[in-house]
Amino acid sequence: MNNLVILISGGGSNMLAIARAAIRERWDQTLNARIAAVISNRPHAAGLQAAAELGLSTEVVDHTAFAGHADPRTAFDDVLRQTIDAHEPSLVVLAGFMRILTPGFVVHFEGRMLNIHPSLLPAFPGLHTHQRAIDAGCRFTGATVHLVTTELDHGPILEQAVVPVLPNDTADSLAARVLTQEHVIYPKAIKAFLKSQA
């Protein structure tokens, strides 16, 4: 069985899009895949409740619990890695997981960790992508699913969706339209990835 572990920090809308696709398309039968766990770094992330309502296993590794460590980020990543590894994952899916991961963590899951980014990479890596696209006068932006590497938002591209930038767009209105496309391409990219590994 291909075990998927999804990491979230907030509402988990991409996680839900993936989970609903997995149920609707019977990934357990068609891809020999299942969502083994949804893990959040925030105990009160709304996505945890939403995942539980779909019958998914949820866990929390609270990053604030590591504040007293000499190297809090590495200490958090070490526990998170152990928590993920307990599920023997074929794929780790970052779905609105708002932590920059340490190189050691990334290397551990290299080749089997995906992320989605709200721009047409390589354009606008990092934060505030929608406002930056508007400020640059872009006529199009979009979303990108990519493999995670130690260089932020620079891994091999697996799937993209193009979204027009409208004349009256704000960062929020553009973000909402991009998000609807994220919900389409993330499950699609995961399916293609799992088929390529079969």
Is cis: bond before 72, omega within 30 of 0? Answer: no
Any idea which residues carry the catalytic annotation?
117
As beta bridge partners, residue 143 has 161
Beta strands in 19-123 (DSSP E): 33-40, 58-60, 89-94, 113-117
Structure tokens at 164: 């027009």
> What is the distance between the alpha carbons of residues 135 and 63, in angstroms, rounded to a whole number?
34
Strand, helix or coil for residue 160: strand
